[in-house]
Amino acid sequence: MIRLAGSAKRSFLFPSDLETALRYFADMRGLFKYLPHITLLKAYSRTQFRVLYRSVELGVYQIRLYSDIEVLLDSDKQTIIVGPLKGKRPVRPKAGLHSLQGMAHYTSISQFKTEGDCTRVYYHLNLKGELPTPKALSLVPRHITDHIAESIANRRIFEIADGFITGALQDFGKRKACSP
């Protein structure tokens, strides 16, 4: 199996009060379109989803990682946690000549703090998964394939985090300037 894991931490100002920011980001169904490489496949409920991470790596391998997730809003702690959703049938791992498929753990934690007229958002995103090793890579030592996979995963996670922030800010609109 090829292990891949990526993580990104970001902090940004969101141009609204704390309550509005929490409501906006808790409605994940409308925000998936701002997650590059991530597609909403199924909504089980307003807070439970199956998503697909998809990318083409090294110009050859199509990677597909499925995640069942649940969005939890903790208003008292001004935090939104996206974590694994239990009880759903997993996708079977499979390796083809030019494709890899498996399940992944997608998690994120967003903490919100008032900062002047705006809200500071501390965003931490993780994606971990295991994929079957394709036959073409079976002779490559595992630590090398894991290192390559981790490097690719981190680059993609940065793209996802940055794309999400940019898209959400553009979608919400710059209704007013933030002042500390």
The tens place of each residue's pLDDT in the chain, 180 residues long, gives 777 888 999 999 999 999 999 999 999 998 999 999 999 999 999 999 999 998 887 777 788 999 999 999 999 999 999 999 999 999 999 988 778 899 999 999 999 999 999 999 999 999 888 888 777 667 777 777 777 777 888 888 999 999 999 999 988 875 555 655
Q: What percent of the chain has pLDDT over 90?
A: 61
Domain assignment of residue 97, yes or no: yes
User: CA-CA distances (angstroms) from residue 29 to 35, 44, 180?
Assistant: 11, 11, 30
Contact 2, 146 (CB under 8 A): yes
| CA atoms of 160 and 33, how far apart (whole Å) | 11
Structural domain boundaries, residue 104? 2-172
Residue 149: phi and psi, rounded to 5, are: -60, -40
- In the structure encoding, which two tokens stand for residue 126, read together? 């993780």
Domain assignment of residue 44, yes or no: yes
Domain assignment of residue 39, yes or no: yes
pLDDT, residue 115, reads: 94
- In the structure encoding, which two tokens stand for residue 24, read together? 């906006």
pLDDT, residue 174, reads: 57
pLDDT, residue 176, reads: 56
The amino acid at residue 134 is P
Domain assignment of residue 88, yes or no: yes
> DSSP letters of 108-153?
EEEEEEEETTEEEEEEEEEEEEEEPPPGGGTTS-HHHHHHHHHHHH
Domain count, the chain: 1
pLDDT, residue 137, reads: 67
Contact 22, 75 (CB under 8 A): yes
User: In this structure, what CATH number is given to the domain that contains residue 87?
Assistant: 3.30.530.20
Contact 180, 115 (CB under 8 A): yes
pLDDT, residue 108, reads: 95
| CA atoms of 111 and 124, how far apart (whole Å) | 9
Global pTM reads 0.86
Domain assignment of residue 178, yes or no: no
Q: Within 10 A of 131 (CB to CB), how many other CB atoms are there?
A: 24
Contact 165, 10 (CB under 8 A): yes
